[in-house]
Amino acid sequence: MPTAAELADRLLRGQTLLADTPDHLLEVVGVLESYGIVLDAYSRNLIFQAERQFLKPFPVFRFFDGDLSPAKIWRHLIHDRINFEYAEYCQKAMLWHGTGGMDAYFDSEAFIANCAAIIRHKRRDPLLAVLAPLFPAFLPELIRSAATTHALGQFWRVMSDLFLDLAEAERDGRVRSIPAVVEFLKQGLVAAAGLPIHYGVNLGDSHFWVLPPEAGLTFLADVAVPYVEAVFLRGMPFLGTVSFNAQAQQISHDQAQFAYGALYADPLPTMGAGIPPSLLMQDMYRNLPEPLHRWYLERTRGEGDVRVKICGSFQKSMFCVTNAAIAGTLPHPLASGDPAEQAANRAYAEAWATRLAAGRTDCLAG
């Protein structure tokens, strides 16, 4: 397992964290193609929830995307479906950890005023009319949750398209190595960096902004980086992995010290939404490209541990995505000869490397 110093050195040399091998290329591109298909479904559902299930007291049909046909309900009941619980886990992690510009906007007077206008309108609903004065922080918190839901849906829309474009680029020969994968992802993230993030709801004949254009929220700084922080790194303690007993002190009081994210997860098939993210592994298993599926079947226990294999490949791919994000957000070009700029780059790379070194870096070797 590489040390933090070795990881920082790779970043500063422009090298990839993941070793460049044919197997790694097959794994990363294949699993990201599967992930792209799954993210398409996650994105559509999160945007549906934020727009069509907004402030519904009992959103029991939120996973159906408006399709309440008997066939879809039956597939839901027998669990022949996408596991949207994992998407909710990621949304709740982002909301709870609250990093980035979107969380700062939630504390602004403009957002509070928008919430107040929405709540005044929604108090026509008898239940909400009772809840609003009794629990004045309840509805604003639900609105924050809906805003995070919609923003994550917008983020995953971009990432789904990027991952599927990567698979197409690998098939037509434009991407032939892990460095090319990281560069492709970096260029995609940089191109999307300034995309605006905004969100409004229609209530009756009225439109209300929740995240208005004038808030100035953008894809990379206000959603993508907080997502990496909340889901790749911090995550949330998962039942059965640590004691929730305060006297045991197994959970840090400082959320910034949490290490329950996807890059730290042991690849165990718990079939839960948290760490390890095996509900996501199940969704990806159902959408594996055939070359990657055959590659898994030829190794160790075949189908018997396929979700463990997918989790390992997924971590390799997420190290590549993180690698691309770091490369795309370095303070200065790596080729800079200015000592001050070099020092700033080194400090940035070392901060990331220190956190990444505690993750499952055993998967990075060839």
pLDDT in tens, the chain (366 residues): 899 999 999 999 999 999 999 999 999 999 999 999 999 999 999 999 999 999 988 899 999 999 999 999 999 999 899 999 999 999 999 999 998 899 999 999 999 999 999 999 988 888 888 888 899 999 999 999 999 999 999 999 999 999 999 999 999 999 999 999 999 999 999 999 999 999 999 998 999 999 999 999 999 999 999 999 999 999 888 777 788 888 888 888 888 888 888 888 877 666 655 566 888 999 999 999 999 999 999 987 888 889 989 999 999 999 999 999 999 999 999 999 999 999 999 999 999 999 999 999 999 987
pTM: 0.93
- pLDDT of 124 reads 84
Res 273: pLDDT? 53
- At 276 the pLDDT is 66
202 membership: H or E segment, kind and range? strand 199-203
Neighbours of 15 (CB within 10 A): 16
Phi, psi of 200 (to 5 degrees): -140, 165
Give burial (CB, 10 Å; 0-12/13-18/19+) of 117.
middle
> 276: cis peptide before it, omega within 30°?
yes
Task: Tally Cβ neighbours within 10 Å of residue 252.
Answer: 11
Q: What b-and-e string marks burial along 61-98, b requiring 16 or more CB atoms within 10 Å of the CB?
A: ebbbbeeeeeeeeeeeeeeeebbbebbbbbbbbbbebb
Whether residue 229 contacts residue 355, with contact meaning beta carbons closer than 8 Å, is answered with no
Q: Give me the pLDDT at residue 317, please.
A: 96
Exposed/middle/buried for residue 286 (C-beta within 10 Å: 0-12, 13-18, 19+): middle
Q: How far is CA 8 from CA 11, 297, 361, in A?
A: 5, 35, 13
